[in-house]
Amino acid sequence: MEKRLDFKAASLLIKNAKRVLVSGHISPDGDSIGSMVALVRLLVNSGRQAFAAADINSLGKPAFLEGASDIIPLKKLKRMKFDLFISVDCGTFERMPSEIRAVAEKLPKLCIDHHITHEEFADVSLVDANASSASEIVWRLAKWMDWSLDRAIAEALWVGMITDSGRFAYDCTSSGTLRAASDLLKYAVRTSYINDIIYGTFPPKTIELKRIAWRSLKVWKNRKVAEVSLTRDDFRSVRGNKADVEDVIEIPRSVSRNEIALFFYQIPDRTKETRCSIRTRGQWDATYLAGKFGGGGHKKAAGCTIKASMGTAKRMIRAAVREMLKNACRKTSKIEVTEGEGK
């Protein structure tokens, strides 16, 4: 789904709701948390009861946001009642925590998303694959609803935008993105303070996990492909989780001439699966690789989960990368010779 922005239908759903649950994908990132926190505050300020729910142990650095401390632990949802569910920054219903799905499946649903691999699962959708972030679309919704912003809302949306756009450096940054960011700055967003928290300082466990990841760096295909990995034992050794390593993918991506960066990791739980974050440059489509294993995301940033050991998952994805590179070589080698040429 490239774009579906039914703001009128979305406004009717919201106006008819009194108690709203807001949530996003598992292992929430800056955009998921930022859009959740901002949307809940917008809804509360408009006279509704609204609550965000997520795994509170995996909020990571965005936990500093005002309102993040009010996020409800997933286990408490069983005792609560809602009449509307709003999903943010999640392309499929299956990517939400099971506790969220159990509640949301019985409710009217509004989806706010920007993934190119989005699957329709809501009654109403605000989806734009060209948007920098879900936070950018939440900002558009606020403008449509004529909701007032404040600094707490603006900072939450700012975190969502900068983390998903690479501080406005990625291709997903548009003139619309910068218009939204410019509007947020009217509310005294503490840009330098936020930059230091998100990008400038790291706890010891994050530094140790990065050190381990650096030691795992493997570069192949003439530096075109680079990868790092972190096992369950690596995370357990420092009592860390995925929220502590959001930017580890930048290690393989920083290799000179890199075009395909891979980050394999196993979160410290009881499931036997390996996850892979994928970043690409140039002609390569990250969703093509992720899609082979049931994943998705964006053209230059995607991910997938493989129910296999680290070694098996690596072999599977490496084979898919080699096949993609080989197919590209085959296509570019087929040069048509027009009549009169080559004689």
- pTM value is 0.89
Condensed to tens digits (0 to 9), the pLDDT of residues 151-181 reads: 999 999 999 999 999 999 999 999 999 999 9
CATH topology of domain 204-331: Diaminopimelate Epimerase; Chain A, domain 1 (3.10.310)
Alpha helices in the chain (DSSP H): 7-15, 30-45, 98-104, 134-145, 151-165, 175-184, 191-195, 204-215, 232-238, 250-253, 286-291, 310-333
Architecture of domain 3-198: Alpha-Beta Complex (3.90)
Q: What residues have CB less than 8 Å from 24, skipping those under 6 apart?
A: 32, 33, 35, 36, 54, 87, 88, 89, 90, 96, 134
Structure tokens at 294: 């049931």
- Which pLDDT value is given to residue 2? 66
Domain with CATH 3.10.310.30 in the chain: 204-331
CATH 3.90.1640.10 occupies which residues in the chain? 3-198
Least confident piece of the model among 17-26, 183-192, 299-308, 322-331: 322-331
- In degrees and rounded to multiples of 5, residue 105 shows phi and psi of -65, -20
HSE at residue 10, side-chain half, CA atoms within 13 A, is 22
Which residues contact residue 149 at a Cβ distance below 8 angstroms, ignoring those fewer than 6 apart? Answer: 42, 142, 183, 184, 187
> What's the mean pLDDT when you consider all of the chain?
92
